[in-house]
Amino acid sequence: MSNIHTTATKTDKELFIKMVLSNWELQISRMNNLLGKLTDAELSAQTAPGRNTGVYLLGHLAAVSDGLFILLGLGERLDPSMDEIFIRNPENSGLEKPSITEIKEYWNKVNSLLAQQISEIRTDEWFTRHTAVSQEDFEKEPHRNKLNIIINRTNHISYHLGQLTYLISK
């Protein structure tokens, strides 16, 4: 009996994980689809007058995804310097930025390593706390788990994707 019920619960959880990850992967594939349509010159342009360029937003999204390795307890981030350039500081910070090619490589490298490590996260592990919430807070707010971080970051990609779409000429 116990096994049957455990399996049932596990199946529910697996379904939740699939729902969240399929939406996450969808936004990444939309982003890659958009990148495939833009020349380097187009990606270097401002998304709107006086707003971030496409290349800055790409670096920003890559750096935020890179932060997931720590938040999900998977290990260290691939490149801490990107955090300084694309998260802690705005585009016009004066900090030297990597080339477009390097930023694209970084985006792809983060995504492929993340996809691989995410696929290895065990079902129950997804419902444990992420590393930015304390054990005490997590007991009061158990929805602040690792899977919730993915929901949040999926929306973050969508947000900037809406802006990046403006790089496509009408």
- Sign for the pseudo-dihedral over CA of 88, 92, 95, 99: positive
Q: Which helix (H) or strand (E) holds 46?
A: none
DSSP state of 167: G
Residues that contact a second copy, how many (by CB under 8 A)? 39
Smallest distance from a second copy to CB 78, Å: 25
Residue 42 binds a second copy (CB under 8 A): no
Q: Which stretch binds a second copy (CB under 8 A): 67-75, 76-84, 99-107, 155-163?
A: 155-163
Identify which range of 13-21, 63-71, 109-117, 130-138 contacts a second copy by CB under 8 A: 13-21
Q: Which is nearer to a second copy, 87 or 161 (CB)?
A: 161
CA gap 59, 109 in Å, rounded = 12
Q: Is 85 a residue that touches a second copy (CB under 8 A)?
A: no
Query: Count of H helices and E strands in the chain?
Result: 8, 0
Kindly state whether residue 47 participates in binding a second copy, applying the rule CB under 8 A.
yes
Q: Report the distance separating Cα 124 and Cα 46, nearest Å.
A: 42
Residue type, 74: L
Among 33, 89, 93, 152, binds a second copy (CB under 8 A): 152
CA geometry: angle at 39 spanning 25 and 41, to 5°? 125
Q: Is 123 in the site for a second copy (CB under 8 A)?
A: no
Does 113 bind a second copy (CB under 8 A)? Our answer is no
Least Å from the CB of residue 143 to a second copy: 5
Residue 121 burial (CB < 10 Å; 0-12/13-18/19+)?
Answer: middle
User: And the tokens for 111?
Assistant: 């995504």
The residues binding a second copy (CB under 8 A) are 1, 5, 8-9, 12-13, 15-16, 18-20, 22-23, 27, 47-51, 127, 142-143, 145, 147-148, 151-152, 154-156, 158-163, 165-166, 170
